[in-house]
Amino acid sequence: MKITVSGKQMTVRPSLKELTEKKLAKFERYFGDDADVQVCYSCRHDLQYIEITIFYGGTIFRSEEGAETFQIAIDEAIDSLERQMRKNKTRLEKRLRTGAFIDTEDELPEDEEGEFRIRVKSFPMKPMSVEEAILQMNLLEHQFFVFRDAETEEPCVVYRRKDGDYGLIREG
């Protein structure tokens, strides 16, 4: 696994980086050398946050946790990632492992009044089925997911409804 550790508006201590690499080593049995892991530490609202994103074979595993210390936050994030993998184990085994998303985030500067901050996220959309899109949305723990339909090549959106079911938005 290729692990990249960074800090948002902070410098990550070497001891914290070593702890992070040690804790993430348990995932090598699942991913081997093919996974790209990005870890970002930050401090907000008197809490210390860690965000772990694992890119592997077109699937993204993500966890963001905040706690009083970075050590507690990393333990919670690791537990969250393990739960995601256990919960989706059979579905993940059935999926084809081709392609990968390249996730980039750019922040636009605030407007002149300073009222709005817009986060722009762009990534290449690989064609996938509705079931694959729902799986990816659940792995990311998002409320919606944009994807390209494998049959029609049209952009679509799946989303989680308040009643727990899923919805699909497509052009037409």
**pLDDT one-digit tens code per residue, 64-85:** 999 999 999 999 999 999 888 8
Residue ranges of the domains in the chain? Answer: 2-94, 104-170
- Domain range 2-94, CATH architecture: 2-Layer Sandwich (3.30)
Q: Is the pLDDT of residue 40 over 90?
A: yes
Q: Do domains 2-94 and 104-170 have the same CATH topology?
A: no
Residue 91 reports pLDDT greater than 90 = no
Token representation of residue 139: 């792995």
Q: Select 104-170's CATH number: 3.40.50.300, 3.30.2090.10, 3.20.130.10, 3.30.505.50.
A: 3.30.505.50
Of residues 104 and 101, which shows the higher confidence score? Answer: 104
Where in 28-151 does DSSP place strands (E)? Answer: 36-44, 47-56, 59-67, 104-107, 119-122, 127-128, 144-149
pLDDT at 107 over 60: no
Residue 116: what pLDDT? Answer: 65
How far is the CA of 44 from the CAs of 51, 68, 134, in angstroms?
A: 13, 11, 31
Res 138 pLDDT > 90: no
Cα distances from 171 to residues 18, 132, 153, in angstroms, run: 48, 19, 11
pLDDT at 95 over 80: no
Instruction: Calculate mean pLDDT across residues 13-26.
Output: 91
Give 132-139's long-range contacts (Cβ < 8 A, gap of 24+): 132/95, 133/158, 134/158, 134/166, 135/88, 135/91, 135/92, 135/95, 136/59, 136/60, 138/87, 138/88, 139/59, 139/60, 139/61, 139/62, 139/84, 139/88
pLDDT at residue 111, rounded to an integer: 43
Q: How long is the chain?
A: 172
Residues in contact with 55: Cβ distance below 8 Å, sequence separation at least 6, in sequence order: 35, 36, 37, 38, 100, 101, 103
| Average confidence score pLDDT of the chain | 81
Q: What is the pLDDT of residue 137?
A: 87
Residue at token pair 């990311």: 140
Assess whether pLDDT exceeds 80 at residue 13. Answer: yes
